[in-house]
Amino acid sequence: MLSSYRRIFAAPGTVAFSSTGFVSRLPISMTGIGIVTMLSQLRGSYGVAGLVSATLAVSAAILGPQVSRLVDRLGQAKIIVPAMAITIGAVVGLLLCARLNAPDWTLFVFAAGMGVMPSTGAMVRARWAHLYREDAGKLHTAYSFEAVVDEVCFIVGPILSIGLATSVFPEAGVLLAGVFLAVGVLLFAGQRSTEPPVHETAKHEGRSVIRNRGLQVLILTFVATGAIFGSVEVVTVAYSEAQGHKSISSVILALWALGSCLAGVVFGALKLTGSMAVRFFLGVLFMALSMVPLLLVAHAVHGIGGLVAVGVALLVAGIAISPTLITAMALVERLVPASQLTEGMTWTTTGLALGVAVGSSAAGWVVDASGAAAGYTVPLAAGVLGVLSALAGLGRLRAGLTAEQPSAPAAGSASGWASGSVDRPVDAER
């Protein structure tokens, strides 16, 4: 299994751009929870803290794809550093306003400014795609590795952010996120030898890739998937508190991420055949079905036994996450033009972010109204919506993968990729 991962790092520069991409991705998992922890301590209000964090999420959903679109048109290094500088300026403004007890509206202004934070996860994957577009096996392994890195970010990031904010000073978590962003982006941008070239078509691209019908299916499904993520986190914290062991919630959620990590490592070493579209649908279906045991054990078992049962259920549920996300990224790589790959990948993460915001809000309402155990109906409902979206769009995904390109060079030819004139090879559905 490890030999598969060693092969993808044989190319020069791969370790450098992947590791610096990890550092620059950590702030994504640190800022939202860091803002909530900081403001709840400094302002004594979870309401304001949650709204400021939601403002950041909405701003990132609106501005993130536009930043990535500029990356596709002008190049990673030209855009990522200025975007980072604007984000750091907004972080500093937010921290000062929080510390100096400035009016609440100033917090929202600077949180919105942080929405230009560059999506280095999409840029890392774009580099892998540039290196291994002609080698489907290595590209699958590379995407799998990055999915595991994402999970590690979302395990380590919140722990660092919350731990520093509660043990050092309230602003420490967000401050460290800013440091990681600045250092990570500067080091990542310095890896020029592996930066994908700008396609001539991208320089003059007038239409957003959001018009791609297959990508629309992925985004809609990812909104539902994000709602699963956001609601499970909120409900698990509430359920742990209801059982008298709130501190255990972080361990339980870590088990969920661990299940995804393990599945991602194994999935990346597999030699897969068959339809990627069907594989994606099955992953979404498994994710939805895995919410059923979670709901049942939360109602049936209580106390420490209930927490153990929920942890086991989430460990199993996590198995569906990485394979589904890995397949989705591979679908984006096949569905959208190479000249718009970064924007396409960012739109999927935008769908996830919107879903997380909706799911966490809905879960909070249900928990307040009906109790913590009932809150697990929210991720189940989101899972059902995800299955319906993926099923309804299955035809679009297949059509996008097998679309004929009459005027294009032969599938996979170097001239076709270099010119950026080919959407994807005819035999993309593998």
Domain around 232: 208-430
Confidence of residue 247 (pLDDT cuts 50, 70, 90): low
Q: State yes or no: pLDDT of 322 exceeds 80.
A: yes
The DSSP-derived string for 302-345 is: -HHHHHHHHHHHHHHHGGGHHHHHHHHHHHHHHHS-GGGHHHHH
274/340 same-domain check:
yes
**Cα–Cα–Cα angle for 106, 109, 113, rounded to 5 degrees:** 140
Q: How far apart are CA 382 and CA 388, in angstroms?
A: 10
What is residue 429's three-state secondary structure? coil
165 shares its domain with 32:
yes
104 located within any domain? yes
Please choose, from the candidates 23, 35, 258, the residue with its C-alpha nearest in 3D space to the C-alpha of residue 153.
23
206: confidence class by pLDDT, cuts 50, 70, 90: low
Return the pLDDT at 365: 81
**Residue 419 is assigned to a structural domain of this protein:** yes
Indicate if 161 and 228 belong to the same structural domain.
no
Domain limit, last residue, from 155, 170, 198: 198
Question: Buried b / exposed e across 261-298, counting CB within 10 Å, b at 16+?
Answer: bbbbbebbeeeeeebbbebbbbbbbbbbebbebbbebb
Same-domain status, 29 and 97: yes
**144, 165, 198 — which closes off a domain?**
198
CATH classification at residue 183:
1.20.1250.20
55 plus 124 within the same structural domain:
yes
- Per the listing, tokens 């060693």 go with 6
Q: Does 277 fall in a domain?
A: yes
213: left (phi over 0), alpha (psi -120 to 50) or beta: alpha
User: What pLDDT digit, counting tens, does each position of 174-186 carry?
Assistant: 999 999 999 999 9
Q: How far apart are CA 315 and CA 297, in angstroms?
A: 13
Same domain, 189 and 214: no
Q: Do 219 and 186 share a structural domain?
A: no
Choosing from 198, 218, 239, the residue where a domain stops is 198
Tokens standing for 204?
A: 């003059």
Please report whether residue 410 resides in a domain. yes
Kindly state whether residues 120 and 255 are assigned to the same domain: no
Q: Is residue 74 part of a domain?
A: yes
Q: Specify whether 141 is located in the same domain as 281.
A: no
Do both 258 and 380 map to the same domain?
Answer: yes
pLDDT tens digits, 61-83: 888 888 888 888 888 889 999 99
Taking residues 410-428, report their average pLDDT: 30
In a domain, 179, yes or no: yes
In the chain, the percentage of residues whose pLDDT exceeds 90 is 22
- Which of the given ranges, 131-135, 141-145, 288-292, 411-415, has the highest pLDDT on average? 288-292
Averaged pLDDT score across all residues of the chain:
81
Task: Give the model's pLDDT for residue 304.
Answer: 83
- Of 282 and 148, the structure prediction assigns the larger pLDDT to 282
Does some domain include residue 203? no
Q: What is the number of domains present in the chain?
A: 2
Could you tell me if 189 and 324 lie in one domain?
Answer: no
**pLDDT tens per residue, range 343-364:** 787 788 778 878 877 887 788 7
How does residue 200 score in pLDDT terms, banded at 50, 70 and 90?
low
Band of residue 106 on the pLDDT scale cut at 50, 70, 90:
very high
Taking the C-alpha atoms of residue 359 and residue 226, their distance in angstroms, rounded to an integer, is: 7
Torsional sign, CA 237, 242, 246, 251: negative
Highest mean pLDDT among 56-65, 111-120, 253-262: 111-120
Is residue 121 situated within a structural domain? yes
Mean pLDDT is lowest, of 38-47, 275-284, 367-376, 379-388, for 38-47
Task: Give the model's confidence band at 325: pLDDT under 50 very low, under 70 low, under 90 confident, else very high.
Answer: confident
> Which of 260-269, 377-386, 388-397 is the least confident region?
260-269
In 220-264, beta strands by DSSP E:
none
- Rounding to the nearest 10 degrees, give the CA dihedral for residues 10, 197, 195, 71: -140
362 and 418 housed in the same domain = yes
